[in-house]
Amino acid sequence: MLVLEEQRYIQEDLERLEQAIADRVRDEPKHIRDRLKRDHEVAQLLDQIQSQSKALLAIYKDENGSRATEIQQIGGGDPFEAFYKQVEDIRAHHARYPNEQAENSEQRYRSRPGDSEMASTVDNIFTGEESYGRFFDLNSAYNSYLNLPNVKRSNYLQYLENFDHFTPGQGGLKRADKMTDQYFSYVGALADYLERFMRRTRPLEDVDKTLSSFDDDFEAEWQKNEVEGWQNDASASGSANKLSSPDAKWCDDCEKEFKNENVYNNHLTGRKHIKAAEQRKARQDESGGESSGAGNVSATRLKERAIAQREHRVKRLASAMSTERSDTRVNVERKQGMTERERQQELDNLFNATEQTHQTTGDGDDDDNDDDDKIYNPLKLPPGWDGKPIPYWLYRLHGLGVELTCEICGNYVYMGRRSFDKHFNEARHIYGLKCLGITNTALFRDITGIDEALKLWEKIQKTEKKAKVDEGSLVQMEDGEGNVMPEKVYYDLQKQGLL
């Protein structure tokens, strides 16, 4: 292929790639499986754009001078001679390959709803527990955690809550127990899983840039000796500031909390404390030798740095995916209350629903070719019964363009008077009134302001207090002469000695 023709072909391909990305981003799929499929397709198209752009830049740089030579040949000689030469080359090519079919560039990057290859790719990169990237699957990491020496036993729910807590005062292991190869492989596997999970669920994000920022933050903290639990001086770990009670005492050598000072003093003569104190003193001496030894770093400190870096990455990745973490805890709690039959039925229903959606999209493409055309809806009109936007005159007739805001519902905007009137009986509005302390919600229709609702509720309470009958006037008392009077008046006269 000629250089100029290759340049034109790459520029055309770049435009088709941009159009393919725009077609996919235009619609927002409802199912998470289709959304992941769309995102992975867009990520592949972006990779192709980068590779094609690099090839185009190499052509423009023209390091070997082939592009300049071709331009000189076209501009300097007979143009018809070069043209007929290209025609002869094309004819010779088709004569050698008579059955070769031409590639349809229009269909190359066109989105196909029934693309089984990409759908199977999305199905294979997630396990059943992950449910297409909605939840974590940390069962293997949990089993590795339970096999660690001197670890605190916990169930899977507690592990999901505390798997990124590594300091001894917050459920983590002691510093000496972390120096084993088993713990190093556990933390590394956990960090690798979270990194792969982020890459699979967020294909359009620059995960490498995010991880490099995590590493830069860790490097700055390590240079300042501010990494929690890994300082040269163990007393600076900060665990002593997080005691469970005011009488509790923290031992820097054992990295353990004691309930009171007597228990703390009694443990000072134990073998475990003496051994831990010797290890801490040796570690401090070693770190002091490093600081005065002109930059010489021991192998122990290098291993500590590697473990601390993986712990820091786990913390940052877990905080970046806090939504998936909380959803995982809710899902595990829900599944623990289900029987095995209910779990299997839930999986079957999810699989059948996914298959039905893809079958309906495939049938629609076969029955009617017009479904391939995108619905043009620049005014964002709501869809009608046929799935197409309603007419604009009907949109104006029902007042759907009028925005009505309710402050009690958290400044939620309702489109149209009909939906605004209906929302007074919905759960969102009733919950907002109950948060304000209002129990009788039937009297607060058409009231959307918080101050207005509080004033009306205060007025209603004052009216109810005035109308409330005094309980003392309901009980009647009779004196010795047969005079009947209320209980309050009877006791007042009795105190005065008038009876």
**Structure confidence by residue, pLDDT tens digits, 189-210:** 999 999 999 999 999 999 999 9
**pLDDT by residue (tens digit) across 464-474?**
887 765 554 56
**Is the per-residue pLDDT at 367 higher than 70?**
no
Residue 378 phi, psi dihedral angles, 5° rounding: -70, -25
Q: Can you tell me the distance from the alpha carbon of 266 to that of 24, in angstroms, rounded to the nearest whole number? A: 69
pTM score, whole prediction: 0.59
* 88 pLDDT more than 60: yes
Classify strands 476-478 and 249-251 as parallel, antiparallel or unpaired: unpaired
Helices (H), strands (E): how many in the chain? 19, 6
The DSSP secondary-structure symbol of 403 reads E
User: What distance lies between CA 18 and its chain's CA centroid?
Assistant: 28
Which residues are within 8 A (CB) of 20 and not within 5 positions of it... i.e. 6 or more apart?
Answer: 45, 109, 110, 111
Report d(CA 311, CA 40) in Å as an integer.
29
pLDDT digits (tens, 9 = 90+) for 52-86: 999 999 989 888 888 888 888 777 767 788 778 88
Token reading at 162:
């505390």
DSSP character at residue 245: S
pLDDT band per the 50, 70, 90 thresholds, residue 117:
low
Q: How far is CA 178 from CA 167, 222, 251, 318, in A?
A: 11, 17, 18, 20
Angle at 382 between CA 357 and CA 385, to 5 degrees: 55
Q: 406 vs 67, 250, 400, CA distance in Å?
A: 66, 52, 16
Mean pLDDT of 217-227: 88
Q: What is the 3-state composition of the chain as percent helix, strand, coil, each rounded to the nearest 5?
A: 65, 5, 30
Where residue 118 falls among pLDDT bands split at 50, 70, 90?
Answer: low
Half-sphere exposure of 382 (CA within 13 A, CB side): 12
For tokens 């595990």, name the residue: 332
For residue 494, the one-letter residue type is Q
pLDDT at 57: 93
Cα–Cα distance for residue pair 166/230, rounded to 1 Å: 10
Residue 286 has pLDDT above 60, yes or no: no
Q: For 52, phi and psi rounded to 5 degrees? A: -70, -35
Residue pair 187/314 in contact (Cβ under 8 Å)? The answer is yes
Q: What is the pLDDT of residues 101-115, one digit of tens each?
A: 777 777 777 777 666
Nearest to 426 by CA among 399, 414, 381, 384: 414
The number of angstroms, rounded, from the C-alpha of 100 to the middle of its chain's C-alpha atoms is 49
- Quickly count: other Cβ atoms within 10 Å of residue 91's Cβ: 10
Neighbours of 353 (CB within 10 A): 10
- HSE at residue 64, side-chain half, CA atoms within 13 A, is 6
Q: What is the Cα–Cα distance from 310 to 229, expressed in whole angstroms? A: 13
Q: Quick one: tokens of 199? A: 């890459």
* Count of beta carbons in the 10 Å neighbourhood of residue 82: 14
4-39, pLDDT tens digit by residue?
A: 888 988 999 999 999 989 988 888 888 888 888 889
Mean pLDDT across the chain? 80
C-alpha–C-alpha distance, residues 132 and 351, integer Å: 12
Using one digit for the tens of pLDDT, what is the confidence trace for 374-395?
677 777 788 877 778 888 888 8
* CA dist list (Å): 116 to 42, 119, 125, 201, 365: 16, 5, 14, 19, 15
Dihedral pair phi/psi, residue 208, rounded to 5°: -60, -40
Amino acid, single-letter form, for residue 181 = D
Are 234 and 255 in contact by the 8 Å Cβ rule? The answer is yes
| Average pLDDT over every residue of 244-261 | 69
Q: What is the pLDDT of residue 103?
A: 72
* Structure confidence by residue, pLDDT tens digits, 402-443: 888 999 998 988 888 888 888 888 888 988 998 888 888 888
pLDDT tens per residue across span 160-190: 988 888 877 666 787 778 888 899 999 999 9
HEC profile of 99-119: CCCCCCHHHCCCCCCCCHHHH
Helix or strand run (H / E) with residue 404: strand 403-406
Please classify residue 311 by burial: count the beta carbons closer than 10 Å to its beta carbon, then call 0-12 exposed, 13-18 middle and 19+ buried: buried
Identify the residue with better confidence: 372 or 122. Answer: 122
How many other CB atoms are there within 10 angstroms of residue 56's CB atom? 17
The kind and range of the H/E element at 485 are strand 484-486
Tokens at 484, concatenated: 């009947």
pLDDT of residue 320: 92
293-331 pLDDT, tens digit each: 434 456 777 888 899 999 999 999 999 999 999 999 988
pLDDT grade, residue 47 (50/70/90)?
very high
pLDDT at 84: 85
For 327-366, how does the pLDDT look when each residue is reduced to its tens digit (9 = 90+)? 999 888 888 887 888 878 877 776 676 666 555 555 544 4
For residue 37, what are its two tokens? 């499929």
Say yes or no to pLDDT of 1 above 70.
no
